[in-house]
A = this chain, B = another copy of it.
């Protein structure tokens, strides 16, 4: 490694014995130059460390190699996990992932998109806030930038959607619960942030009716993303008032279930499916901590890997072909039942 500082592509072209346009071509696509030329450039790269100026490279492009990843909340372990996976895939494909969290705030969500627009991304992968999102602004953004939605769907926004099939996964766990004990009631937030919640409630009701049971929906008050706290508060009240219509609770998601588990513990209710248990509790999502709750949480796992892979793949296909599909593509992946200790 030489100590001579290379200040720009001109100087680097000089030390590698080539012209700047050829070097420029190499950096845009190493395959586009003759193998021997490539070797010379790569040899020079070992001796002098040079990287094209990020800003100058992107200034003239109308699209860059940046791919935006926008999720509702980076503090939520689910989204932290998924966005990590997506970021990896994006980086492997030779793009630069730019990760942004919206903190549950629709204004922040739009801000994130505006910030992304500044860096002229090749495309965006986004898990929208859902119900509270500013749909018109989202649509406008998606007209300009190829966008794939994941996790929660908003009709007409983006070129594609990849997510879980709430209908089958809720059916899966409702059937399991009915088969192995009392039919469950359904525990959710009254004003859920995420549109999946509505689908899950609907799927619960439909499955219960199909099985000939009466559905019971319990709704917790509270806004925001502090799901454990909301679940805890509402469940504590339920337990104190002994208002539970059944001994089995299916929660709309694992974070609520974690709050409910905690409330049950503090109310002295033993949770599980064994002898001496007063209550069964199940969740949905297979949150990273679900396997370490007490008892471990029975839930439905979403196929994180498949969601990540499919959404990235769809976006890259659009970017690399340059073709925006005429019809919006929607893909639902099946969940898997995770039978653990709590139900």
Given known pairs A54-B119, A118-B51, the reply for A292 and B228 (CB within 8 Å) is yes
Contacting pair A262 B293 (CB below 8 A): yes
Question: For residue A59, which residues in chain B have a CB less than 8 angstroms away from its CB?
Answer: 53, 55-56, 59
Contacting pair B58 A232 (CB below 8 A): no
Contacting pair B55 A84 (CB below 8 A): no
Question: For residue A114, which residues in chain B have a CB less than 8 angstroms away from its CB?
Answer: 51
Question: For residue A53, which residues in chain B have a CB less than 8 angstroms away from its CB?
Answer: 59, 118
Q: Which residue of B lies closest to A341 (CB)?
A: B266
Given known pairs A80-B74, A84-B75, A101-B84, the reply for A118 and B54 (CB within 8 Å) is yes
Q: Which of B80, B120, B294 contacts A293 (CB 8 A)?
A: B294
Q: Which residue of B lies closest to A96 (CB)?
A: B115
Beta-carbon contacts under 8 Å, A42-58 to B: 51, 53-56, 58
The answer to whether the Cβ of A258 comes within 8 Å of any Cβ in the partner chain is: yes
Q: Which of B55, B232, B288 contacts A75 (CB 8 A)?
A: B288
Contacting pair B51 A232 (CB below 8 A): no
Beta-carbon contacts under 8 Å, A185-203 to B: none
Measured in the bound complex, the distance between the Cα atoms of B51 and A120 in whole Å is 13
Write the nearest CB–CB distance from A320 to chain B, whole angstroms. Answer: 22
Q: Which residue of B lies closest to A228 (CB)?
A: B292
The answer to whether the Cβ of A295 comes within 8 Å of any Cβ in the partner chain is: yes
Beta-carbon contacts under 8 Å, A274-303 to B: 288-289, 291-296
The answer to whether the Cβ of A171 comes within 8 Å of any Cβ in the partner chain is: no
Question: For residue A295, which residues in chain B have a CB less than 8 angstroms away from its CB?
Answer: 265-266
Question: For residue A262, which residues in chain B have a CB less than 8 angstroms away from its CB?
Answer: 291-294, 296
Measured in the bound complex, the distance between the Cα atoms of B296 and A228 in whole Å is 13
The answer to whether the Cβ of A146 comes within 8 Å of any Cβ in the partner chain is: no
The answer to whether the Cβ of A99 comes within 8 Å of any Cβ in the partner chain is: yes
Contacting pair A289 B289 (CB below 8 A): yes
A-B pairs, 9 with minimum CB distance = A265-B294, A54-B118, A294-B294, A55-B59, A262-B292, A75-B80, A55-B58, A55-B55, A228-B292
10 pairs from A and B in contact (CB 8 Å cutoff):
A53-B59, A54-B119, A55-B59, A55-B119, A75-B77, A75-B80, A84-B103, A258-B289, A262-B296, A293-B293
